[in-house]
Amino acid sequence: MLARDAQGRPFLDFLRAGCTFCRACLDACPEGVLAEPGRSPLAEVWIETGACLAHQGVVCVACKQACPENAVIFEGMMRPRINEACTGCGLCVPACPVEAVAWSG
Binding site for ligand SF4 (CB under 6 A): 45, 47, 52-54, 60, 62-63, 66-67, 69, 71-72, 80, 82, 86-92, 95-96, 98, 100-101
Min dist. Cβ of residue 67 to ligand SF4 (A): 3
Which of left, alpha, beta for 39 (phi over 0: left; psi -120 to 50: alpha)?
Answer: alpha
Considering the complex, state which of residue 25 and residue 53 has its C-beta at the smaller distance from ligand SF4: 53
Residue 5 CB partners (closer than 8 Å, separation 6+): 11
Considering the complex, state which of residue 31 and residue 87 has its C-beta at the smaller distance from ligand SF4: 87
Considering the complex, state which of residue 31 and residue 70 has its C-beta at the smaller distance from ligand SF4: 70
Answer yes or no: are the C-beta atoms of 75 and 81 closer than 8 Å.
yes
Min dist. Cβ of residue 84 to ligand SF4 (A): 10
Considering the complex, state which of residue 8 and residue 38 has its C-beta at the smaller distance from ligand SF4: 38
How far apart CA 68 and CA 20 sit, in angstroms, is 10
Min dist. Cβ of residue 19 to ligand SF4 (A): 8
Residue 15 CB partners (closer than 8 Å, separation 6+): 93, 94, 99
